Copies of this chain bind each other. A is one copy, B any other.
Amino acid sequence: MSKVMHFSREFKPTNTIVKINNVKIGGKFFAIIAGPCVIESPEQYIETAKIVKEAGANIIRGSVFKPRTSPYSFQGLGREGLKLIKELGEDLKIATITEVMDPRDIKITANHVDIIQIGARNMQNYDLLKEASKSDVPILLKRGMSATIDEWLYSAEYLMVEGNENIILCERGIRTFSTTTRNTLDLSVIPLLKMRTHLPIIVDPSHATGNRDLIAPVSKAAIASNADGIMIEVHYNPDIAKCDGAQSLPPEMFIELIEQIKPILEIEKKVVTGTSMNLEEVRRRINYVDEDIIDLIANRLHLVPALIEFKSKNSIPVYQPEREQQLREKYEHLAKKYNISPELIQKIFNLIIAEMRSLQKQKMNSDD
């Protein structure tokens, strides 16, 4: 196939970072999505959301449209439930996600919720994908129970074809002969997808295993294999859950899970945004940012040889006043946009640009 797909590294080599207010997913930003399988009542939803936010989740899950194998099982609160999600997001200042199954529900859901989830059963519900593609809300696309990697990525392409770039993939286990776990988590696809796509990929250990005792080790493994997030079912009282009780974590197990994954997140240099931090975490994050700043400055300085080559060939002088003027205007514009001091930025870039100019001169002289 000659067409370059929107999901591919060929189309976009750098990692896509999906942003929802102060929450980021992708690159070094790790998402912890938690909450009940299905929203049963305001109390159950709000109480569970408070617990998981306090423990460290940065996105709250909870279904109001729920795909159930039997028509006689509880199907969710429906559109009425969307208001609950919107209120919770505003009250707790936290990002929210919910599943949509019917193309006619995409628009109204996008008005109430921060991320729309397309579930495993609907991964190839193409009219739903097309309708979601028209929206600009971030979309989490679960892998179908028996979907190949190509089928999954092509379904992501359906979502991107209208220009929506905020797509998150979610591995949730595939259906195999093995019934020891609810599904078989196909964790090797995480590093494999990282080679093929720039989109963030998260893991759902709750549906993958169906067994709450396996969620902590599987979550750790997901991070170690380079996943960009986890999605965990939590219920403030799993014994009375209307759906998936056996795989839902009670509050204390979720709190313990967060403690268990922290050291692995640290090794993998992943940060969870949108949550409150203690001093140590702030310092760690500062360190990461510093490393990145230095990395980028180095990237810039290492472009000197290419600059020289081009300028020599084309007889362009090292110093280009108009170009520098343009850059300065851009720096000022960006500084204002991000609400930081333009003077600071100018000073920093003065140093960098001077260094580059000096390097160019040194290099050109040594080439003589």
Enumerate chain A interface residues (CB-CB to B < 8 A): 3, 67-72, 101-104, 121-122, 124-128, 145-146, 148-151, 154, 157-158, 161, 174-181, 184-192, 195, 208-209, 211, 213-214, 216-218, 220-226, 263-264, 267
- Report 8 cross-chain contacts, Cβ distance below 8 Å, ordered by A residue: A67-B126, A69-B154, A71-B154, A102-B103, A125-B125, A149-B178, A191-B216, A221-B225
CA distance A226 to B161 in the complex (A): 41
**Which residues in B have their C-beta under 8 angstroms from that of A151?**
69
Closest to A220 in B: B224
Give the CA-CA distance A239 to B88 in the complex, in Å. Answer: 57
CB distance from A223 to the nearest CB of B (A): 7
Given contacts A125-B125, A181-B192, A187-B218, contact A146 B148 (CB under 8 A): no
For the complex formed, measure the closest distance between the CB of A305 and the CB atoms of chain B, giving whole angstroms: 26
A121→B126 CA distance, assembly (Å):
9
Complex Cα–Cα for A174 and B186 (A): 10
- Contact status A127-B101, CB under 8 Å: yes
The complex places the Cα of A95 from the Cα of B161 at a distance, in Å, of 37
- Closest Cβ of chain B to A38, distance in Å, is 14
Of the candidates B3, B187, B213, the one whose C-beta lies within 8 Å of that of A185 is B187
B221 x A187 contact (CB < 8 A): yes
Give the copy number: 4
User: Which of B122, B179, B184 contacts A179, CB < 8 Å?
Assistant: B179
Q: Is the CB of A209 within 8 A of B188?
A: yes
**Do A186 and B178 form a contact, CB below 8 Å, given A72-B3, A218-B225?**
yes
Alpha-carbon separation in the docked complex, A69 to B148 (Å):
11
Interface residue from B127, B146, B208 paired with A145 (Cβ < 8 Å): B146
Instruction: Out of B3, B125, B177, B218, name the residue touching A188 (CB < 8 Å).
Output: B218
Counting chain B CB atoms within 10 Å of each CB, which of A104, A127, A226 scores highest? Answer: A127
A180 engages B154 (CB within 8 Å): no
**Contact of A104 with B101 at beta-carbon distance under 8 Å, contacts A69-B150, A181-B192, A190-B217 already known:** no
Asked whether, in the complex, the Cβ of A146 is within 8 Å of the Cβ of B175, the reply is: yes
Nearest 9 A-B pairs (CB), nearest first? A146-B146, A102-B127, A221-B221, A220-B224, A224-B224, A191-B217, A121-B124, A221-B225, A176-B176
Q: Which residues of B contact A223 (CB under 8 A)?
A: 224
How long is the Cα–Cα vector from A22 to B350 in the complex, in angstroms?
A: 60
Complex Cα gap A175–B145 (Å): 10
Q: Which residues of B contact A121 (CB under 8 A)?
A: 124-126
**Assembly CA distance A184 to B148 (angstroms):** 12
Give every chain B residue within 8 A of A145 (Cβ-Cβ). 145-146
* A154 to B68 alpha-carbon distance, docked (Å): 9
**Chain B: CB-nearest residue to A189:** B180
A181 CA to B184 CA, complexed, in Å: 14
A246 to chain B, nearest CB (A): 14
Instruction: Give complex CA distance A170, B179 in Å.
Output: 19
